[in-house]
Chains A and B, each alone.
Chain A
Amino acid sequence: MHEVLSKKQLSPNVTRLDVMARRIAEIRQPGQFVIVRRGEGAERIPLTIADADPAAGSIALVIQAVGKTTRDLVALNPGDAIQDISGPLGRPTDLIASGRALCVGGGVGTAVIHPIAQGLRQRGVAVVSIIGGRSKEWVIFEDDLRKLGEVIVCTDDGSYGRKGFVTDAAKDVLAAGGVDCVYAVGPVPMMRAVVAVTKPLGVETIVSLNPVMVDGTGMCGGCRVSVGNETKFACVDGPEFDGHLVDFDLLWDRLGTYRTQEQESLVRHEGSCRIGLEKPNAG
């Protein structure tokens, strides 16, 4: 059992949970994730380790509440526990040894960019982060990233920072030159758009993929992605890959495999929550 130590709402649908996982906190590296199962009957889902406090023995999980499983997780409060956490899984990020890196984070992906930026900074790599959200309230991890280097914030509606997409800001930073590697993590359309900018420029771009996973150890093959026309398992070969070689269409498509079931599960879940609040009908 892994106790939830603290909980913080980062944006309207993104929550940070700091949970006990002593061994993982000690050895986790940037880019690695855990598989989490809240309790009996729950799904196993992959979550990136956004941060860790080895002294306290805790890791930070940043969860975007979209379906039943993630809503169940963000409903946990300090003192509650997650039954199963396994990891750290996946290959650590291929961090450049020196120079300057551009870290681009979109939505909940910004939480994944954070440990990468941390790792880069520790090696003495200069970090510029571009992070974005729909509007100000959707921007997360800004303060954490500011500790590691320059941060450019973009909002779709211009309510905070620069108006526009992260890709627009990325174009400007890249045009100014001096970027040795780009790390981009966010929704599939965002990563695809970043790669579309960096590929013609020939700037190496690492992306972190989030396909559906079950075991996280290579056993099921559900997380297969196509990289350079080769099938790879994101859980053991990734989750990070050369963005220039990733088939984003396939990733996007396969992410939709369970859309109908996810909807069914969510409707049933929300329905039962509401029923819980209503007074029982007679008869």
Chain B
Amino acid sequence: MSAKITTRERLKIDRQAMPERDATARAAGFSEVNLGFTEKLAMLEAQRCIQCKEPRCVAGCPVMVNIPRFIQFIADGDLAAAAQNLLGDNALPAITGRVCPQETQCEIECIRGLKGMSVAIGHLERFVADWASRHANQIVATPPQPTGKKVAVIGSGPAGLTAAGELVKLGHEVTVYEALHKPGGVLVYGIPEFRLPKKIVQEEVERLQRAGVKIECNVVIGRTYTLQELRARFDAIFIANGAGLPMFMNVPGENLKGVYSANEYLTRVNLMAAYQFPSADTPVIAGKRVAVVGGGNVAMDAVRTARRLGASSAMIVYRRTKKEMPARAEEVHHAEQEGIRFEFLVAPVEVQGNDQRWVTGLKCRRMELGEPDASGRRSPVPIPGSEFVIECDVVVVAIGSRANPLLTSTCPELKLNRNGNIAAGPNGMTSLPGVFAGGDIVRGAATVILAMGDGKRAAQAIDGYLKGA
């Protein structure tokens, strides 16, 4: 280890803040909120890492990135080596650097967090990844020895892309099937431009394509081809087609005009670029007063999108308290900065409408927290007689999703769990030999990085399976 700087000196450096676009300015458009570290900031931040002998941050990372190693290369100013190492561990660092909940994974484990602030691992990851995409020619890729084995990946979201990236590195021939017209899955239809620019996703996808991954869009497995047809053509399959069906609240008025699932609302705005309507052809009802039901990342994305579409009031309606919200801390913080209102301990009981059946309000009931439920969170209990109405013209329902039966219903041999998700072992193997699964179709709705972890583990298991076969 180069000893240009002592640990004592490292400890004296404060955590560098991520440069952000001004809250008022950014709430009027879809430009990315975080601007990224400059090289100077990144090197300074990298020097804060004390290079633990047994780094706990790595254990906290679902894809096991060797964090201290790439950070050391940044501190040394060798960005090509940092990129080379990071890309070796993580197929999509520009994405995870932006959307991972670092505060509950790598950064929470950081030893520097015990006395002060953890190293800004996510920000550094993003810095290296962005550098790598600008300096692709400086990163040496050794082409792998082709194995002659063919693997199909179903779905081009985070799990599918990660698996594809790992599998080509191992020399397998990979074809990814995507149902929509553009690759990326939730990264392009779900996560908004201001949090993850589509250009970044496209660059990551193109990097995988250069590495040899083939992507076929507009192919719906379960409709265009059955799983069994793919099994006949490929040596192994990784199913990562996502969570699928949006859940609704099952309250009266839910089919009024102006009620959206978060999936539809975000897909219209992100994938179909409805924020550019009428230059783009797909419209969205841009409410003046928008109520978003839910407390996860998807709810935050929807409410901040509503704000950017011009809502004077954009509000989160959540049945527990801020503490229980599953959303990433940075998103909640950014939402607050952007003037998003939060109604905590509130549950909708009815969507109200006018005689033309447009939404006019969301009737809610106040809740209090009772005993902890199965998830360990205290479950909300309604307070009798506490009904009130939130005036709004658009309601976005962001309370999760169910498994999409499109693929599984056409392959009864594939074992499901009781939620309709695919039953898969720890390495992703399903009940069918050579068929692996991961991401939301196995977990139910989870995070990008957990899906990526599944993709990486499954790729290794598929490699083992193919070598044994």
Contacts and interface: CB of A to CB of B under 8 A. Distances in A.
A binds B: yes
Interface of A: 23-24, 27, 37, 41-44, 68-69, 72, 83-89, 214-222, 224, 226, 231, 233, 236, 250, 253-254, 256-258, 261-262, 264-265, 268
Given A219-B263, A231-B254, A258-B285, 11 more contacts: A84-B181, A86-B180, A86-B217, A86-B219, A87-B220, A89-B220, A218-B245, A219-B244, A219-B245, A254-B257, A264-B278
A23 B248 CA distance: 34
15 contacts: A41-B273, A41-B279, A68-B281, A69-B281, A72-B281, A214-B264, A215-B189, A219-B267, A220-B246, A220-B263, A236-B406, A254-B257, A257-B285, A264-B278, A265-B278
Report, nearest first, the 9 A-B pairs whose CB atoms are least far apart: A261-B283, A220-B264, A86-B218, A84-B181, A221-B261, A43-B281, A222-B264, A221-B246, A257-B257
B34 to A, nearest CB: 27
Contacts of A37: 181
Contacts of B181: 37, 44, 83-84, 86
Interface of B: 179-181, 189, 217-220, 223-225, 242, 244-246, 248, 254-255, 257-258, 260-261, 263-264, 267-268, 272-273, 277-283, 285, 357, 404-406
Contact of B272 (A43, A231, A233, A268): A43
A84 B179 CA distance: 11
Contact of A265 (B189, B281, B406): B281
Contacts of B263: 219-221
B255 A215 contact: no
Given A220-B246, A256-B257, A88 B281 contact: no
B153 to A, nearest CB: 17
Contacts of B404: 217-219, 236
Nearest to A89: B223
B250 to A, nearest CB: 8
A220 B181 CA distance: 15
A31 to B, nearest CB: 13
Contacts of A262: 283
Nearest to B181: A84
A88 B223 contact: yes
A254 B253 CA distance: 12
A216 B277 CA distance: 21
A87 B263 CA distance: 20
A256 B255 CA distance: 13
A214 B407 CA distance: 19
A250 B255 contact: yes
A258 B281 contact: no
A219 B283 CA distance: 18
A231 B255 contact: yes
Given A87-B224, A88-B224, A218 B281 contact: no
A41 B264 CA distance: 17
Which of A24, A217, A254, A257 has most B Cβ within 10 Å? A217
A219 B254 CA distance: 17
A84 B220 CA distance: 13
Given A84-B181, A218-B245, A261 B278 contact: yes
A87 B258 CA distance: 28
A252 to B, nearest CB: 10
A215 B272 CA distance: 10
B217 A84 contact: yes
Given A87-B223, A265-B281, A215 B267 contact: yes
A236 B241 CA distance: 15
Contacts of B260: 222
Contact of B264 (A24, A89, A221, A253): A221
B281 A42 contact: yes
A214 B357 CA distance: 21
A41 B406 contact: no
Nearest to B246: A221
B76 to A, nearest CB: 43
Which of B218, B244, B258, B261 has most A Cβ within 10 Å? B218
A73 B357 CA distance: 31
Contacts of A219: 189, 242, 244-246, 263, 267, 404
B451 to A, nearest CB: 16
Contacts of A89: 220, 223
A209 to B, nearest CB: 13
B253 to A, nearest CB: 11
Contacts of A218: 244-245, 404-406
B224 A41 contact: no
B224 A24 contact: yes
Contacts of A221: 245-246, 248, 261, 263-264
